[in-house]
Chain A
Amino acid sequence: MSLRSPLGQVLGLGSAKSGTAHWWGQRVSAVALIPLSLWFMFSLLLLPSLDYSTTRAWLQWPVSGFLAILLVAVVAYHSYLGTTVIVEDYVHAEGLKLLGLVLLRFLHVLVAGAAIFAILRIAFGT
């Protein structure tokens, strides 16, 4: 007995190869966050001061601004994947689950967009 669908047997197609995309994205973003998050935490710790001008000057340095944008983007992606699984696991009412998943996606893009735009404003000066 074959477990493949009749259509799949006729067309001779295999899997869509996207079954592990969510899981894989979670792992790859986790690996990327190891250096990015440590860099961010220790950069802030080692700044001579966290006042307005020192912190802005630090982010205006191209390497810091670039890495900060990467950090925000990867954190948003990693957090989006993680919280999505939690909603899928614990919200059983179909309508509420759909609403939660859409809101989570909007919220993550919104927050990441605002943070990245802020870093760009600092980097290029307003």
Chain B
Amino acid sequence: MPVRARPLSPHLQIYRWQIGNTLSILHRFTGVFLGFGFLALAYWFVALATDSHSYRSAAHLFASPIGLLAMLGWTFAFFYHFLNGVRHLLWDVGQGFERAERRASGWLAVVGAGTLTVGVWLLLWHFERL
């Protein structure tokens, strides 16, 4: 029997990038990033429990340029992971598997997360929290 190279499973080097795998990677990435947000949240709770001086230091850190950038990132990561998570939950109950539905829900997660992020930061600006 002639020995032929057998087809291999999709490999990163020949895999055509599309919205499905991009959003899947983004889901993991935002999840890990939110894990660091959880660290920041725990620090905030501990500072709030310590005294007003520690709380002011924490608030100062969060209001620094890097702090604001991180919080902007966490806002988007939260909304994206939230919406794409709901998308996964719908798949788990057998809904939305068709190609067009998958694409539409994927774009909805990205655009929705962007819109909600802008909305929350507009609210922060409106309430003069920035």
Q: Is the CB of A50 within 8 A of B85?
A: no
> Is chain A's binding surface mostly helix, strand, loop or mixed?
helix
**B: which residues have CB within 8 A of A?**
28, 31-32, 34-35, 38-39, 41-42, 45-46, 48-49, 52, 55-56, 59, 78, 82, 85-86, 88-89, 92, 120, 123-124, 127, 129
Per the bound structure, the CA–CA distance linking A117 and B38 in Å amounts to 15
Interface size class of A (residues with CB under 8 A): 20 to 34
Given A45-B120, A121-B49, output 8 extra A-B contacts at Cβ < 8 Å: A27-B89, A30-B89, A37-B78, A52-B48, A79-B38, A111-B38, A115-B42, A119-B49
Per the bound structure, the CA–CA distance linking A30 and B31 in Å amounts to 12
Per the bound structure, the CA–CA distance linking A117 and B124 in Å amounts to 29
> Is chain B's binding surface mostly helix, strand, loop or mixed?
helix
Q: Distance in Å from the Cβ of A112 to the closest Cβ of chain B?
A: 7
Known: A34-B82, A86-B28. A41 touches B120 (CB 8 A): yes
Contacts of A27 in B (CB 8 A): 89, 92
Q: Is the CB of A41 within 8 A of B78?
A: yes
Per the bound structure, the CA–CA distance linking A75 and B85 in Å amounts to 14
Option from A50, A59, A72 in Cβ contact (under 8 Å) with B42: A72
- 9 A-B contacts (beta carbon < 8 Å): A31-B89, A41-B120, A59-B48, A68-B45, A72-B41, A76-B38, A112-B42, A115-B45, A126-B49
Q: Mark A52-93, 1 if CB is under 8 A from B, else 0.
A: 110110010000000010001001100100110010000000
Option from A59, A75, A122 in Cβ contact (under 8 Å) with B38: A75
Option from B42, B88, B92, B123 in Cβ contact (under 8 Å) with A45: B123
Contacts of B89 in A (CB 8 A): 27, 30-31
